Structure 1
Amino acid sequence: MPETRTLTYQDEALDVTLELGAATTLAGVRRALLQGRALAYLDEGAAEAGLAATARRIVVQYLYPDLLAAVVEAEGLDPEMPVADFLALPEALTDLWQNLVYDLNPHWYPFRRPDEPEDEAEKKGVTPASDSAGA
């Protein structure tokens, strides 16, 4: 059975409990489907430029599919939520969520971590300074 961790988050508007899991084959396929949904969302919008557009692209292209694909069970939010709903979530929640997801699934992390050898980051093909990160 893959490793899981539980995330509990509560604020004035949300009361969320998520069971997050290490990637399985099914989670990997789900992640790929969510990546397709994310790219379709980005293709629907008008072409934007600037820092806000780059931030939106990173959140939609990477965090949205990774965080939702790692959900094993959810209470208080829809693990198949549309991209627009995900973008409206509080950062306090998504920050905790991404830390657990990438601890469970370090191979999903799209950028070089400070303690990761340079050659490992190059295998991923994406670094924050690369052209694809700003696209």
Structure 2
Amino acid sequence: MGAVDEIVFHQLLHWHHFYDRASGAAGLVSDGLLHAATLSAVVAGLALLADLRRRRTFTPTRWWAAVLLGAGAFQLWDGVVDHKLLRVHQVRYGVDPTGYDVAWIAGAVVLLAAGALLMARARRRPVR
């Protein structure tokens, strides 16, 4: 989810940088660090996926549940901690952020709920 946020809102739409309380150069550096962190998380996730497949314990439902839970957790953290508590950036500048904040956090709740439902379904099934 961090990569989606960084690509869509930082690079394509230019709505904000990861750290907007400094010069444009600092914002670009912070975006680069966020991109490096999200790419590292993707590589680690793919390594875990490969290990599950190698051990023949991969369960698609459990995997997608974990993906949705991780995406929702990132988005909730970003919306509450980064946007509201630390104020490192907002979703969008030059407009009233309330609607964007509500949509961002509601999206996180939807992702978390979908992930939790899938995880509950996966736990009821025996692992192959």
TM-score normalised by structure 1 residue count: 0.30
Higher strand fraction (1 or 2): 1
TM-score by length of 2: 0.32
Q: Highest relative contact order (Cα 8 Å, sep 6+), 1 or 2?
A: 2
In terms of Rg, which structure is larger? Answer: 2
